[in-house]
Structure formats: structure tokens, C-alpha cells
Amino acid sequence: MYVAVKGGERAIENAHAWLDDARRGDRDVPDLGLAQIREQLALAVDRVMAEGSLYDPDLAALALKQARGDVIEAVFLTRAFRTTLPRFGASLPVDTGAMQILRRISATYKDAPGGQVLGPTFDYTHRLLDFDLAQAPEVAPAPEIEARPADTPHILSHLDAEGLMQGETPGGSEVPDLTRTPLEFPAERALRLQALARGDEGFLLSLAYSTQRGYGRNHAFVGELRIGHVRVSAHLPELGFEIEFAEIELTECESVNQFQGSKTEPAQFTRGYGLVFGQSERKAISMALVDRALRARELGEDMDGAPAQDEEFVLSHCDNIQSSGFLEHIKLPHYVDFQAELELIRKMRRDAAARQAAE
């Protein structure tokens, strides 16, 4: 006897219980602490903070634990929490020139004031599995150097000083917020950057890669990539002064791209910009390349239908919470629509057969 999909409620409860059980796994293995995730899976924590648009390493670690290490699921948990928080206002722009540098490299100059600092990078490691790590070895502290006392000026400022770098147009005083205002096209650059900063790393990586391979080609140099800590402050009208309320880790990338010039402007370099929470340089570089590609229209460059140059395409599809939600919703029942399709196909076949018989 047919039973109309009854028992949904109990099925859900049982599934949740199973999920909890599976998350914990073998009880003989110690439970994973949030501090362990925060300290030892720090780059996953950073990605959750960046794409979750919420700077809180402990919450991101919790989200990763709850999501069983599924980063997009953890981003989703973070976003769903973030949306319940009141919005007090906007911080003042962070001064990345005053960043306490952990890593700073330039592909365009061999040396510059402040020097090149490799920092804790994978770059020159040989990707050989380190079987010693499986044995929880003692790790000696890394050698330390004196922190640079002065600010580290941006490398592109040297090009700026020569007039070779196109200046950036300052945005309005009002900071746009795409979580509070529905996206509208064309979107100003500040809003585009906001969308990219929380966009999916994999999506941006592929788009950036596509520009390198010729889809909206615009050769980029990494003018500067820096990672470090910056102070965040806000102006509180009630108090009438600025207060510093946080220190956060950021990755910033400025790309240098050639610009042929136009009738009104001489040839010069232009900039793509990436700024991401935590240590996320793959994302920051990708973001800078996509930002630059999205400026094609403004700079009067050839638009040949490359996806990375298409603002609506990029901004409508870069959010992994939107895309994964919609993608996965096709798991939900569609009996009704499918039934309607089924009847339509049968009817069209009947009609076609009848027409054939009549001929």
C-alpha cells in the first residue's frame, strides 16, 4: 500500500542524530578541540572567515568542526550567524601601509624599502609528504628578527610617484554594503570588491586563471603581496572621536597591469586589487586579477565576451553560499514539476503519433 511520504519528521531527527554520531567518529580518538583547529588548521579557519565575512577565528573553528571540515558548509554556518548580528556602522579604511608585516613580496622589484619577507610560505617547500608530522614531533621555534619599526610603504607608491600608475578614484563617503542593499548593475568598484572579497576562492581562481589564458587577457604582475596585522578603528559619532577596536590579519595584493592608453590618457600602469581576511594569498591574487578584468569597460578595453570581464556573470555567481544552496536544492522533491513534464512529453508523443498516423 502506498504511504504518502509520511514520517518526514522522524526521518529528519534520525538523520540529525546520525550526523552527530558521524561527526564524532571513532570515540577512541580524542575529540577535536577548537583551539587545535584554530592553531593547526589556521588557513581553513582563514578561508571560512573570509568567505563567511566574519572575522572571528574561534567561531570559524567551531563552524569547521560542526561542518566536519566541509569548508563551504562552515562558511554557510558563519554567514547564518553573521546575519543575526546587529550592524553598528562601518570601520574607517584600514591602513595597510602601517601593516605589521609577516610576509611581503614583489615580483616587479628585486628590492625596495622594507625588503622582501618570505614569511611562513609554502612557496619553496618541496611538496613531499612529511611522514614525521604523523608522529607529533617537537617543533623548534622559528628564528626571529626585529620587527620593522616604521611603516612599510606600498611598492606601487614608487610607480605612483613617477606618475606611471593610474590613480584610483576615491569612493563616496558612504560605504556600500551588499549585505544590506540588493546588488544592482552596473555595480561600483567598491561593491564589486566587496563581493569578490567574500566570493568563492575556487571560482575566483578559475576566473583569474582564465584571464591568464587569454579570456580577457591582461597580463598581470604581482606588484606587491603582503600579509600581516592591521588595526581596525571606527569613528563613533556619539563619542566624537575614533576608537581602535580590533587587530586583524589581512592579505593584500596589488597587481600591475599594462594599459595601452587612450586618446585622452597616456599609456600607464593600472592596478587590480585584492584584500582578504587572514592568510589567503591565492584568493587575494585571484581577486586582484578579476578586479582588474572587471575594469575593462571603464578602461575602454576590448570586451570579447570573456567571463571574467562580465560583471553580471562574475558577481551573480561568485558567492558559494548562493550557488551551493541553489545547486543542492535540486535534491529536494520535484515530483510536481516532474509530473507536469511527464504529462507534457506523453501528450506531445501522442500528438506526434496521431499526426503521423493521419499522414
Which parts of this chain interact with another protein (CB under 8 A)? 2, 4-9, 11-12, 76, 79-80, 82-84, 86-87, 179-186, 312, 316, 321-322, 324-329, 332-337, 339-344, 346-348, 351-352, 355
Q: How far is the CB of 34 from another protein (least distance, A)?
A: 17
**Pairing mode of beta strands 241-259, 220-236:** antiparallel
Q: How far is the CB of 351 from another protein (least distance, A)?
A: 6
Comparison of 92 and 342: residue with beta carbon closer to another protein: 342
Comparison of 124 and 185: residue with beta carbon closer to another protein: 185
Cell 611522514 identifies what position?
131
- Phi, psi angles (nearest 5°) of residue 54: -150, 120
Q: How far is the CB of 304 from another protein (least distance, A)?
A: 17
Alpha-carbon torsion 293, 299, 305, 310, what sign?
Answer: positive
Nine-digit cell string for 231? 588595526
Comparison of 143 and 182: residue with beta carbon closer to another protein: 182
Nearest to 197 by CA among 294, 288, 70, 95: 288
Nearest to 307 by CA among 219, 215, 220, 217: 215
Q: How far is the CB of 359 from another protein (least distance, A)?
A: 14
User: What gap in Å lies between CA 127 and CA 27, rounded to an integer?
Assistant: 32
Q: How far is the CB of 284 from another protein (least distance, A)?
A: 24
| Crossing angle of the two packed helices 42-52 and 57-66, in degrees rounded to 10 | 100
Comparison of 155 and 178: residue with beta carbon closer to another protein: 178
* C-beta separation of 89 from 62 below 8 A: no
Q: Which amino acid is at 323?
A: S
Q: How far is the CB of 175 from another protein (least distance, A)?
A: 14
Comparison of 219 and 346: residue with beta carbon closer to another protein: 346
